[in-house]
Amino acid sequence: MEKFQVTILGCGSATPSPKHYTSSQVIEIRGKLFMVDCGEGTQIQLRRSHVAFARINQIFISHLHGDHCFGLLGMISSFGLLGRTAPLIIHAPQELGPVLQYEMDFYCRDLEYQVEFQGFDPDTTSVIYEDRSLSVTAFPLRHRVPCAGFLFQEKPTSDHLDRAAADFYGVPTWDYNRIKDGGDFITPDGDVIPHERLTKPADTCRSYAYCCDTAYNPSMIPIIKGADLIYHDCTYSSRNADLAKKHFHSTAADAARTAVESCARKLMLGHFSARYDDETCLLEEAKQLFPDTILAKENLTVSI
CB of 214 to its own copies, least distance (A): 19
- Distance set, CA 108 to CA 55, 80, 92, 104, 112 (Å): 20, 8, 19, 5, 9
Q: Confirm or reject binding of residue 122 to its own copies (CB under 8 A).
A: no
Return the residue of 57, 77, 133, 299 that touches its own copies, per CB under 8 A: 77
Three-state SS for 241?
A: helix
**Is 67 a known active-site residue?**
yes
Stretch that binds its own copies, among 50-58, 70-78, 185-193, 292-300 (CB under 8 A): 70-78
Return the residue of 2, 3, 66, 85 that touches its own copies, per CB under 8 A: 66
State which residue, 176 or 276, has the beta carbon closest to its own copies: 276
Q: Confirm or reject binding of residue 300 to its own copies (CB under 8 A).
A: no
Name which of residues 240 to 259 contact its own copies (CB under 8 A): none
Q: Confirm or reject binding of residue 74 to its own copies (CB under 8 A).
A: yes
Q: Confirm or reject binding of residue 161 to its own copies (CB under 8 A).
A: no
Return the residue of 2, 3, 102, 219 that touches its own copies, per CB under 8 A: 102
CB of 60 to its own copies, least distance (A): 19
67: part of which helix (H) or strand (E)?
A: helix 66-69
Three-state SS for 25?
A: strand
- Distance set, CA 114 to CA 44, 51, 89, 109, 178 (Å): 22, 21, 8, 11, 39
Catalytic residue among 67, 159, 233, 254: 67
State which residue, 39 or 228, has the beta carbon closest to its own copies: 39
Q: Confirm or reject binding of residue 21 to its own copies (CB under 8 A).
A: yes
Return the residue of 1, 2, 3, 48 that touches its own copies, per CB under 8 A: 48
Q: Over the range 70-99, which residues count as b (16 or more CB within 10 Å of their CB) and which as e?
A: bbbbbbbbbbbeeebeeebebbbbeebeee
Rounded to a whole number of angstroms, the distance between the first and last alpha carbons of the chain is 10
Q: Confirm or reject binding of residue 81 to its own copies (CB under 8 A).
A: yes
Q: Confirm or reject binding of residue 174 to its own copies (CB under 8 A).
A: no
Q: Confirm or reject binding of residue 106 to its own copies (CB under 8 A).
A: yes
Stretch that binds its own copies, among 96-104, 135-143, 180-188, 296-304 (CB under 8 A): 96-104
Q: Confirm or reject binding of residue 61 to its own copies (CB under 8 A).
A: no
Q: Confirm or reject binding of residue 99 to its own copies (CB under 8 A).
A: yes
- Distance in angstroms (rounded) separating the CA atoms of residues 224 and 226: 6
CB of 78 to its own copies, least distance (A): 4
Q: Confirm or reject binding of residue 103 to its own copies (CB under 8 A).
A: yes
- Distance in angstroms (rounded) separating the CA atoms of residues 297 and 271: 10
Its sign, for the CA torsion 21, 27, 32, 38, is negative
Task: Tell me the β-bridge partners of 24.
Answer: 10, 38
The answer to whether 258 and 292 have CB atoms below 8 angstroms apart is no
- Distance set, CA 151 to CA 72, 135, 240, 290 (Å): 21, 8, 28, 20
Q: Confirm or reject binding of residue 165 to its own copies (CB under 8 A).
A: no
Mention every residue, 6+ apart, whose C-beta is less than 8 A from residue 81: none
Binding site for its own copies (CB under 8 A): 14-18, 21, 40-41, 43-44, 47-48, 64, 66, 70-71, 73-74, 77-78, 81-82, 99, 102-103, 106-107
